[in-house]
A and B are shown apart, each in its own frame.
Chain A
Amino acid sequence: MSIELDSPRSVATASGRLSQRALTTRQAIADRLFRISLVAATLVFVAIIGGLFVELVQGSWDSIVAFGPAFLWSSEWNPVTNHFGALPFIFGTVVSSAIAIAVAGVVGISAAVFLAEFAPRAVARPISFLIELLAAVPSVVFGLWGLFVLAPILGHVADPFLQRYFGFLPIFSGTIYGIGLLTAGLLLALMIVPTVAAIARDLILAVPNELREASISLGATRWETATRVVLPSARAGILGACVLALGRALGETIAVTMVIGNRPAISASLFAPAYTLSSVIANEFTEATSSLYLSALLELGLILFIISVAVNGIARLMMWSMLRAQGRRP
């Protein structure tokens, strides 16, 4: 191979090149060490997930053997007779979280669109800060507020109103207690709405301005631009934000425990008290007297774990298909 003398790179002499090779070897070792440490750090997550799963299955093995798959659809929860079923708790968890994500999704995304697309900076800045502050409020504080403020308001004002005008719907029938499924769902919505709003706002702000300009230049209004171009551009990410929020709602324990009524019953009415998987574990773990009782509680934990993983998995699939539809690679 010929060496061009006038090229500045080839000025290096033979010895220069040797020392360069030595450096390269050292770099290669450093590179490898670095990579191993990165892989190790990543594997920690795999180990945690795997370990959690194994531990939960082990702990709930007695219950799995005793009740079989019927555990999932049995409604009985009787520590005295040692009969346990998970259905009321699955119901409470799923319904309260569904209410929460429906409300928080609509409110959070609307607020995000307003803050990112319409609000003047002098308004958007302080409100965005407040939203982030709201996300930092401890859940027990939310629980207290829910018990002493939200529950009375719902019980005395909102629920009777709903019952009066929409009482023909089974979900708004029955006795009003103030605490119950609806209260828990709304409190959860309040707790997760900052997550949705803050992330969705950042995602909307990240939509390239060129898309807005293209839309405006075609005679679209700012509203049309926001709803038809900007939001669809960010929708895969916003779905991710909602799943993150939903994950928090599914697992939220203390605030829900304080306002849901803690009764393992399945009722069509949203006003009725209910119970969630996480609440029953928190409430009854210390008083689980028999090993089967303990095992059943752990199986509830396993179910919660599987629901969370499934929700995330489904959301991931939906995001992939959305990104594919937009022609981007996930």
Chain B
Amino acid sequence: MVSSMDRTLGVSATQPEVKVRVRNLNVYYGQNHAIRDASLDVEKHRVTALIGPSGCGKTTFLRAINRMHDLTPSAKVTGCIEIDGVDVYSRDVDPIVMRRHVGMVFQRPNPFPMSIFENVAYGLRVNGERSRDRIADVAENSLRRAVLWDEVKDRLFESGAALSGGQQQRLCVARVLALRPDVILMDEPASALDPIATVKIEELIAQLREDYTVVIVTHSMAQAGRVSDRTAFFLDGMIVEVGPTNQIFTRPKDKRTEDYITGRFG
């Protein structure tokens, strides 16, 4: 199995910093062994795409990073996930504090049933921010960064549910950006959107790379090719191959990756 050991291949001269280091991750749902001994280095200020056929474990892997499996009583996680060298599963780490630094965008847009403004303010409020001015500032900034401000600035206090699907998803991105997270996890963020909204989300992801580290699960290889710097190919709960996206797509080293890329299965 090709592991992340060969990540130096094809990477530009300056050695990129590793933001998230995953080692020997195993996730079980009851008897089901969903992730098998997966290891991956996620580089800082890069977009890392997780691809693979349905049920291969890429979403499970993603959700292990911000400890969302804590909510599932039957799920068990072993192994090590470090963000900036801190094991997020260690006893000293409070998952609630940790999640503040790891934002998540979900498959379907899921704005809260409150106003556009309150959606963005929510993360700040639950994390103890009281200053109205600061919340207003951050909310505006976040909406601008999510390229939504111009569309919503005149109706900030209308319901978030009244927006279109694509706008809702960008609102969900703004909601995450308000907390200035280190890492943004995206679980097929465009799968419920129409092509135009998809393009907007992809452009947004490209911009986010400047300040954030993004891990994106996608079932669309074309999308992985468009937005990501590095790609990890998952199969049956294992990471088969990881490398620079153009290398994975043009010169995959593993036969299984090649079969998947060329559309022989999945």
A and B: real partners? yes
Apart from A214-B172, A217-B68, list 12 A-B contacts with CB within 8 A: A215-B112, A216-B68, A218-B103, A219-B100, A219-B126, A220-B96, A221-B96, A229-B122, A325-B159, A327-B158, A327-B159, A327-B162
- Which of B's residues lie within 8 Å of A, judged by CB? 66, 68, 71, 96-97, 99-100, 102-104, 106, 108, 110, 112-114, 122-123, 125-127, 158-162, 172, 175-176, 179
Interface string of A197-217 (1 = CB under 8 A from B): 000000000001011111111
A74, CB-defined interface residue at 8 Å: no
Whether A210 contacts B100 by the Cβ 8 Å rule is: no
- Tell me which residues across on chain A come within 8 A of B162, comparing CB atoms: 327
Whether A219 contacts B123 by the Cβ 8 Å rule is: yes
- Tell me which residues across on chain B come within 8 A of A212, comparing CB atoms: 71
A221-B104 Cα distance, complex, nearest whole Å: 16
Shortest Cβ gap from A329 to chain B (Å): 10
- Tell me which residues across on chain B come within 8 A of A210, comparing CB atoms: 106, 108, 110
A228, CB-defined interface residue at 8 Å: yes
- Tell me which residues across on chain A come within 8 A of B172, comparing CB atoms: 214
Q: B175: nearest residue on chain A (CB-CB)? A: A218
A224, CB-defined interface residue at 8 Å: yes
- Tell me which residues across on chain B come within 8 A of A229, comparing CB atoms: 112-113, 122
- Tell me which residues across on chain B come within 8 A of A215, comparing CB atoms: 112, 122, 126
Whether B103 contacts A228 by the Cβ 8 Å rule is: no
Given contacts A211-B112, A233-B113, A326-B161, contact A217 B103 (CB under 8 A): yes
Whether B114 contacts A218 by the Cβ 8 Å rule is: no
A26, CB-defined interface residue at 8 Å: no
Whether A216 contacts B71 by the Cβ 8 Å rule is: yes
- Tell me which residues across on chain B come within 8 A of A211, comparing CB atoms: 110, 112-113
Given contacts A211-B112, A218-B179, contact A326 B96 (CB under 8 A): no
A29-B36 Cα distance, complex, nearest whole Å: 60
Given contacts A213-B71, A214-B112, contact A219 B161 (CB under 8 A): no
